[in-house]
Chains A and B, each alone.
Chain A
Amino acid sequence: MSLATDGNLSMTDVAHERGSLAGRVMRHVALFLGVMLVWELASYYQFVDPLILPRPTAIAAALVNMVLYQGTVWFHLGVTLWEAVAGFVIGSAIGIGLAVAAGLNESFRRYISPYIIALQVTPRIALAPIVIAWLGFGMMPKIAIGALICFFPPFINTLTGLLNVDEDANEMFRSLGAKKRQIFFSLMLPNAMPIIMAGLKTAISLALIGAIVGEFISASEGMGVLMQRYTFALNMASSFAVLVILTAMGYVLFLLMEWADNWLVYWRHDARMTAISRKKAKAWAGVAGRR
């Protein structure tokens, strides 16, 4: 179950129990503002050193300044986004590709699994300096690090999904005289789709982590660089503003994945399923001879 669906459920279901939707939203906003106010006052009256934990208003001001007036943040954001997405696409493609090969061929699965396990138990982020030594200082090493970190969830999820096919369904296909290719495309792959998508959702956040860590190690552009510059200059409000932007970016990527999941795995989403059911009824009207 995804975070976003859970959020939707609580927004609608609980609303019936505890007052209107507007009331619920108001309470969330009030709680958020309350926490911000306590933080603001704690910082203002020097309970915490504002140099370490800047005031929310200072962060907001830095954010506005960064986004509206300086403008260079867009460039850095673009670099990091590109690195993360490219790392995600490459890592996922490798992960899914290897999993499909391993899922279809048992001896390939046997030979490859020790290496996959070794790579999984290695803290792969530790490979980052090596990758940078190999690939230099541009975007390539960050993409490679992202791909390296994120390939495992799509791999293991795809493999699990492909192998967890219901034995009866498999026999049913065989009793129909289905070829291996038909069983793969009509049964194994769609059956694995929900868990593959779950793996991809994890992978996109990992690719973003890979890109940022790569930038920390050695880079001249990207959000990681921006973050380090501000922190080393003790401009903490701007550091936090960078963090807020990264959170927003992570959330947008997450929403995109949720949207893709809704489209590709429509049979697990009630609203989409009902809509498709209705659409198909319409498309079949000529054949069915009614409706």
Chain B
Amino acid sequence: MNAIASHLVAASTSHIDPDIVISARDLVKAFNSEVVALDRASFDIRRGSFVSLVGPSGCGKSTLLRLVAGLIGKSAGELSVLGHGVTGPSHDVGMMFQRPTLLEWRTAVENVLLPTEVQGTTTDADRRRAIELLQLVGLRDFEFSFPRQLSGGMQQRVALARLLQTGANILLLDEPFGALDEFTRERLNLELLRIVDDVEATVLFVTHNISEAIFLADQVMVMTPRPGRLAKIVDVPFERPREIALMQTPEFNSLVGEVRSILGGH
């Protein structure tokens, strides 16, 4: 990290709004000092909100997510999570990927317990919580199945339970159901809404599907590629809980049209 960047981080901690959990100012990520993956993104994400990141491949949405997760370092600008500059992975932030990334030699419940194990010793309370989480994601009776014995959708449910087991309040989801069929995906999206509402998490959800982005979110961050830029943040005014029928309404479709036109210019 260079001197200017760390100076900016120090400056950013001076004006803490307790309701803002993720804050970025002119955040830049360049690979090999040439390819600009993310160009000067600025945004604030409020506690408990569900924010979608939508855009075509190469728009920097996954880069943005990895920056927030502390998996990669920024090139310039400011980025803070819960008022602190991001320097590496934090227990406040959990991440879920497009692929389930389960350990095939562990049962479902042992996979869910991985975050606890990594952080220290596992107690019976942790084990009970893991079982409860598997039930919460609809996997009662599959706690002791191995990943290879589960369908793709069920594997992703295990990954979701594992994410919740981290106890993190900020959940970063990188196209979590992108590899699943349309029906499974729709159902899991609805369950995801119910679950994150339950655990009162702040969610950053990456997708390339505009309708999905709008349907799930309070705000949609629309991103455009080459270089990756945050083009606009669109507010989604629809009430919760939401039903699938919402997607048929003219209001919903006009919002889809708005996002599409922002993306269309590129």
Contacts and interface: CB of A to CB of B under 8 A. Distances in A.
A287 B91 contact: no
Which label, helix, strand, loop or mixed, suits the secondary structure of the A interface? helix
Contacts of B93: 175
B146 A166 contact: no
Given A182-B118, A273-B146, A284-B109, A175 B69 contact: yes
A101 B97 CA distance: 30
Nearest to A171: B71
Nearest to A279: B144
A247 interface: no
B40 interface: no
Interface stretch (B3-11, B43-51, B100-108, B207-215): B100-108
A4 B20 CA distance: 60
A176 B99 contact: no
Interface string B112-124: 0011011100001
Contacts, number: 81
Contacts of B127: 284, 287
* Most B Cβ at <10 Å: residue of A173, A191, A193, A278: A173
Contacts of A267: 104-105, 146, 148
Contacts of A193: 105
A276 B117 CA distance: 20
A192 to B, nearest CB: 11
A272 to B, nearest CB: 10
Contact of A177 (B91, B128, B144, B146): B91
**The 10 A-B residue pairs with the shortest CB-CB distance in the complex, in nearest-first order:** A281-B144, A175-B95, A169-B101, A267-B105, A287-B127, A176-B118, A168-B97, A178-B118, A172-B101, A168-B101
7 contacts: A168-B99, A173-B118, A175-B94, A191-B103, A266-B105, A273-B146, A277-B107
Interface of A: 166, 168-169, 171-178, 182, 186-187, 190-191, 193, 266-267, 273, 276-278, 280-281, 284, 287-289
